[in-house]
Amino acid sequence: MVQKITAKIGPSILNADLSQLHVESQRLLDSGADYLHLDVMDGHFVPNLTFGHPLVKCLRNKIKNAFFETHMMVSKPEQWIEAMANAGVNQYTYHVEPVEDVPLICRKVREAGMKVGIALKPGTPVDVVVNYIDQVDMILIMTVEPGFGGQEFMKPMLEKVAWLRKNYPTLDIEVDGGVGLNTIQFCAEAGANMIVSGTAVTGSSEPGRVMRSLKDAVTQVEEFFCF
């Protein structure tokens, strides 16, 4: 029996109005978002700085049941595991690049009660995940350089997605960066099933329509290829 993966759309709130974050996040969920993608940046691993666990905790106090994924663009992901777990995060996705002991971080994240995601920058070869694949729930392939929203989509990164889908057919594979209506078909055909979209969703007057279109593109490819 083929285990079927599921298309999921997680809008990034990176470009949302932080003063209205609860309202905007709830609007995205009411419009059909499957989860919220929360970009955490420390000003070291990436040059930008966003927010940390206090804001996430405040958001969780307002939104009780949504699935929160934090994308930890930080130099020391081990430093924030407990704080994010206590803030109500469901999945802790961190970058392998600054980490010496990836299995250790995976174990600590899981022990804290969260799902484990690992993320790869554009310059990181995809086969580094082979040693960790049995310890993660999801792999995030960045289709832009992490750190800023609104960048141009890097289509060659989808070769990583295709390699992962071929070798790990039941794995959750997420793409993040420049994903919108003009690029979703490429992502879907490569095998991505978890789609992070920022400005294409949050900047639209009809975010629900955009998210439905993104999800439909992935679902149609999944049904055709029986992912």
**Which position among 30, 137, 176, 216 bears the catalytic label?**
176
Is residue 145 one of the residues assigned to a domain? yes
Is residue 161 one of the residues assigned to a domain? yes
pLDDT at residue 222 greater than cutoff 70: yes
Is residue 3 one of the residues assigned to a domain? no
Task: Give the predicted TM-score (pTM) of the model.
Answer: 0.95
> What total of structural domains would you count in the chain?
1
Mean per-residue pLDDT, 17-40: 95
Half-sphere exposure of 83 (CA within 13 A, CB side): 14
The gap from C-alpha 148 to its chain's centroid, in whole angstroms, comes to 14
Q: What is the length of the chain?
A: 227
61-95 b/e (C-beta count within 10 Å ≥ 16 → b): eebeebbbbbbbbbeebeebbeebbebbbbbbbbb
pLDDT of residue 17: 83
Residues 147, 30: Cα–Cα separation, whole Å: 27
Continuous segment of H or E residues that includes residue 25: helix 21-30
**Strand partners for 39:** 71
pLDDT at residue 1 greater than cutoff 50: no
Q: How confident is the model at residue 226 (pLDDT cuts 50, 70, 90)?
A: low
Query: Among this protein's residues, is 137 annotated catalytic?
Result: no
Residues 6, 218: Cα–Cα separation, whole Å: 9
pLDDT in tens, 69-105: 999 999 999 999 999 999 999 999 999 999 999 999 9
Q: Is 218 exposed, middle or buried (0-12, 13-18, 19+ CB in 10 A)?
A: buried
What share of the chain in percent tops pLDDT 90?
Answer: 89
Q: What is the CATH number of the domain that holds 115?
A: 3.20.20.70
Tokens (6 digits) for 192: 């991505």
What share of the chain in percent tops pLDDT 70?
Answer: 96
E strands, 78-157, in order: 91-95, 115-120, 138-142
Is residue 2 one of the residues assigned to a domain? no
Query: Among this protein's residues, is 127 annotated catalytic?
Result: no
**Which position among 39, 101, 134, 172 bears the catalytic label?**
39
Is residue 215 one of the residues assigned to a domain? yes
pLDDT of residue 19: 87
How open is the CA angle 42-45-50, to the nearest 5 degrees? 30
Which residue bears the tokens 């593109």? 217
Is residue 71 one of the residues assigned to a domain? yes
Tokens (6 digits) for 73: 């663009």
Cβ contacts of residue 33 below 8 Å, gap of 6+?
A: 9, 10, 11, 66, 201, 211
Is residue 116 one of the residues assigned to a domain? yes
Is residue 129 one of the residues assigned to a domain? yes
Which residue range(s) make up the domain with 129? Answer: 8-225
What does pLDDT average to over the chain?
94
Q: How confident is the model at residue 2 (pLDDT cuts 50, 70, 90)?
A: very low
